[in-house]
Amino acid sequence: MLRTSTRRGSAIFLPLLLLKAMVGVSVPFLRFPPAIPAASGSGVPAVIGYLNGVKMPHVVEVKVLIVRMLSTILTCVGGLAGGKEGPMIHSGAIVGGSLATLWLPCLGPHSVLHYFRQDHEKRDFVAGGSAAGVAAAFGAPVGGVLLSLEEGTSFWSLSLIWKIFLSSMVATFTLNLSLSAVEGHPGQLTHPGLLFFGRLNDTITKYEVFELPIFILMGVIGGLLGAVFVAINMRLMVFRMKHIKKKWMKLLEVLFVGFLTATCGMASIYSLDYCREFTKQSPKFAVQMFCHENLHNELSAFWFQKSEDTLRSLFHDPKGSYSVIPLLVFFLMYFSMSIMTTGLSVSAGVFVPALLSGAAWGRLIGIGIQHFFPEAEWAEPAKYAVIGAAAHLGGICRISISLTVMMIEATGNITFGLPLMLTLITTKWIGDLFTEGVYEMQIYLNGVPLLPSAPPPLSSDIKATDVMSAPPVVFPAKVKVARIIDTLDNVPHNGFPIVDPSTSIGQVCIPLLNFRFILSLIRISLGKKN
């Protein structure tokens, strides 16, 4: 028999949710149209390209920061399956790049700040800013440093590491201090990050040696799901690049995904009648819907609160808090929605959706283990939710070292270091057998000329003479400016060897000068003549 809700107004939840989603995802298109392409997505691939020496247009401009902040806020309000942690990394990079080009009228154009406008100094500022963004998002300063080194920074040194670490610590402290004032307790530094999962208790973090194979198996599952995510999303991205080019088409796509996300969430709540008693541990925004008095719909706990709060619930709620069917339905829906949301023309990251999807299927595995071992104290579903979240994010992004440290810092417990490391290493191995990570895929599709860390297969025997232009265009140590200008006009090279023909073994390359440096020398030479 159909049970009716005793709580008035449940019938208007769907149109209100749809209205919120439509407004939230459409407003970012109304401001700063030229900056929208650089502010869409997570921004992490663009930061990776910039830190590896690729000139990325508009990536570290202040107007992009404004659009990204507005779009990220409204994307989260709209309820899309996207997070703010990826955009935080890009926002931090923009802040760092802006500080490097800061000009103060009181100091004049030739002040000490002029030193920081050099390319390598600006790149270091961007690296520090991106690490600060990670630290602010997760409350993980060490994880921010490692992520900057693991994913982005190719030109790193010991001095750069401590500079990045300093910026990460300052970002964590500043956010902590600001949140303490927002929470009404100024100076009480108990809010280390925007996505602090809460300290896991000893019951959750206890694990036995025989559980390590289970964690490795979860790493295999995470790698496979990550490969599925990347493969489907790559085909979706190619379709968007071919067919969804105009601004109004992109807006309609965002509206469609927002409508679909809201509709799927409400449809699952209306169609599945899984009720649970209201307790002190019940979600703040749980809804009664068609349940009896003092009961709430279990699926409403997933859709009517922030993604971060849902994630904390999956990490901390005791045994018996969730049923299998609601978890399975939520995972399938949210996993599908996160695939569709990644790559939309809005500012949205993949961190929180991946963690939330992984926590859902990880908790499902924990419930299954608890079913077979009901008396075992170690069969704690929340523990497997943490492992599943890390495995799913690692399978999509293919980050292992930094993610291990970030999860340890975000949960405030180092006991889980070994299980997390084993899981993430397995996840990366399995995922790399099928596809690249989502960031590498986006870099490739966007045409960013980024060299991979390892050479292609069967290329170890290829010599430079097999691929270079012949004969090489060189300059002697002493050459006329007219010849240099004529050569630069007719040869599309970016590097020119400077040779010394007076040696006993023939011409020897002294240095290799790039195009921009040669132009600078020409300007200096012409300036002296004038």
pLDDT of res. 34: 40
- Residue 341 tokens, joined: 């949301």
Domain ranges of the chain: 8-445, 464-529
Most confident of 117-131, 150-164, 263-277, 356-370: 356-370
- The CATH superfamily label for domain 8-445 reads Clc chloride channel (1.10.3080.10)
Q: Which amino acid is at 183?
A: E
Instruction: Please give the residue that has the higher pLDDT: either 194 or 106.
Output: 194
What is the rounded distance in angstroms from the CA atom of residue 289 to the CA atom of residue 448?
49
Query: Does 107 have pLDDT greater than 80?
Result: no
* pLDDT tens digit sequence for 55-99: 888 888 888 888 888 888 878 877 888 888 888 899 999 998 888
Render 231-276 in DSSP notation, one character per residue.
HHHHHHHHHHHHH--SHHHHHHHHHHHHHHHHHHHHHHHHH---EE
What is the rounded distance in angstroms from the CA atom of residue 404 to the CA atom of residue 484?
52
Neighbours of 466 (CB within 10 A): 7
* pLDDT tens digit sequence for 143-178: 888 888 887 767 777 888 888 999 999 988 888 888
CB 230 within 8 A of CB 439: no
Give strand pairing partners of 297. Answer: 275
Task: Return the percent helix, strand and coil in the chain, to nearest 5.
Answer: 60, 5, 30
Q: What is the 3-state secondary structure of 183-205?
A: CCCCCCCCCCCCCCCCCCCHHHH
pLDDT of res. 503: 59
What is the rounded distance in angstroms from the CA atom of residue 383 to the CA atom of residue 390?
11
**How many residues does the structure list for the chain?**
530
Helix (H) or strand (E) holding 71: helix 62-78
* pLDDT tens digit sequence for 425-462: 999 999 999 999 999 999 999 888 887 777 777 777 78
pLDDT band at 342 (very low <50, low <70, confident <90, very high): very high
What is the rounded distance in angstroms from the CA atom of residue 35 to the CA atom of residue 67?
7
- The counts of H helices and E strands in the chain are 22, 5
pLDDT band at 391 (very low <50, low <70, confident <90, very high): very high
471: preceding bond cis by omega (within 30 degrees): yes
pLDDT of res. 15: 57
Average pLDDT, rounded, for the chain: 81
Residues 6+ apart with CB under 8 A from 128: 96, 148, 163, 164, 166, 167, 168
pLDDT of res. 393: 95
